[in-house]
Each structure stands twice: as structure tokens, then as C-alpha cells.
Structure 1
Amino acid sequence: MPFIRRFGRPGLLGLAARTAVVAGTATAVSGGMRAHQQQKAEEQYEAEQYQAQQQQAQMQAAAQQAAAQQAAFPQVPAAAPAPSPAAAGSGSDLMAQIEQLAALHAQGILTDAEFSAAKTKLLA
């Protein structure tokens, strides 16, 4: 019997081969896309980590600079000088001194304990 070539639709073997090629291509493309997305995510994570490290280094440098400045300038005495009896009677002068102490405390020059002690001394 002579071999008869079919025209038109492919046979069962041709259909299976075509399906395998399409499925393999789809798998390869989706795997490539997944790998690309994962690589982009890793690069973004590394960039965020680098930025966080740079911010941390800047904060440490600023802290060291502040410590050097604080070491260069002597501390202001903890207690303010005692007011004279005439000045103690003046309410506005007392308020000005307390505001000055509060400003020193806000700047971090006076600790909480030093601020409390100086305020108590002024009010006594």
C-alpha cells in the first residue's frame, strides 16, 4: 500500500507535538518573567538596605559631631545664682528666670534633675 499523505488537519501525533511545544514555550516564558520579577524585587530590596545604611551613617556622624561640640564647650553651671532679696519679690523677674531655665532644659543643657533643683531654688 502506498503511503497516503493527509492534507488539512494534523493527525494525533502532530497535535500532541504542537501542544507540547506550546506548553513548553509558555512554561519557559512564565519562568523567565518570574525570574525577572524576582531579580527586580531583590535589586529594590538591596537599594532600600543601602539607603537605610546611608541614613544610619549620617545619623552616627551627626551624633559624633554633636558629642565633639559638646566636649569642646564647657557645661553651663547646673544651678543659677541665687536671686537677691529685692529681685525675688519681683514676679516678672522670677518668671523670666524660670523661662530661662526652661529654655536651657529644652536645649538639653540642663538635665531633669538640675532643672527641678534650680526651679525649686528660685521658688524658695
Structure 2
Amino acid sequence: MGRGGLVRAAATTAVVAGTATAVSGGIRGRQEASQQQAAEAQAYEQQQQQAQMQYAAQQAVAAQQAQQAAAAPAPAAAPSNDMMAQLQNLASMHSQGILSDEEFAAAKAKLLG
């Protein structure tokens, strides 16, 4: 019985060792998968934050451009002065007799649009 017990003990030890290795390998695999999933979730979160920051920056630039466009001086002031000068010129020509009443009215209508 000495030899049978020794073989049985060796076989039992091999089974226990194999089972322990398989269990520890399974645990390690689950831990690695869990860590990988956490890393992917963190990377996704960072990408979302970057996208939000880029969107906010684009909105800020658009708002700044809108403010600049609203604050820009109106270019209509110069043509208004020019229009006044032209009207005064037409009135002067009309008063001097260079333009008839009809010509003055037509030129004034054309100028005023």
C-alpha cells in the first residue's frame, strides 16, 4: 500500500495544483478584462470631454465674431453724406436752371431709389 498511496497523493497534488492554476488564470483574465474595460471607458470619457471643449471653443469664436459684426460701424454713413452732396448738387443745378423740374424730379427719384 505504500506505493499506491504515494501515487494517489501525487495524483491528488497534481489535480489540486492544476485546478489552482486554472482558477488563478481565470481570475487574472477577469481582472485584466475589467482593467481593459475601465481604460476604454476612461478614454471614451476623455474623448467626450475634448469634443465638448472643442464645441464650446467654436461657440465662443462664433459669439465673438457675432459681437464684432454687431459692434462694427455701419458703412451706410458715408453714402448718406454722399447722397446729401448729390442732392444738394441737383438742387443747385435746378435752381440755376440747368435742370428742368422734370429732370430734377427724375434725377432725385433715381438717386433716392
Deviation at 1:30?
0.7
Give the match for residue 6 of structure 2: 6
Once residues 52 and 43 of structure 2 are traced to their aligned partners in structure 1, the CA distance between those partners, rounded to angstroms, is: 14
- State the TM-score, normalizing by the size of structure 1: 0.52
Map Cα deviations across residues 7-40 of structure 1 (whole Å, 9 max, x no partner).
7x712x3332222111100000111111111111
CA RMSD of aligned residues (A): 2.6
Q: Decide which structure has the larger Cα Rg and report it.
A: 2
Higher helix fraction (1 or 2): 2
Q: Percent identity?
A: 28
* TM-score, reference length from structure 2: 0.57
Aligned positions, number: 76
Off by >6 Å, runs of 4+ in structure 1: none
**Equivalent AA in structure 2 for residue 6 of structure 1:** L
Higher RCO structure (Cα 8 Å, ≥6 apart): 1
Q: Could you list the runs of 5+ residues in structure 2 that have no partner in the other structure? A: 83-113
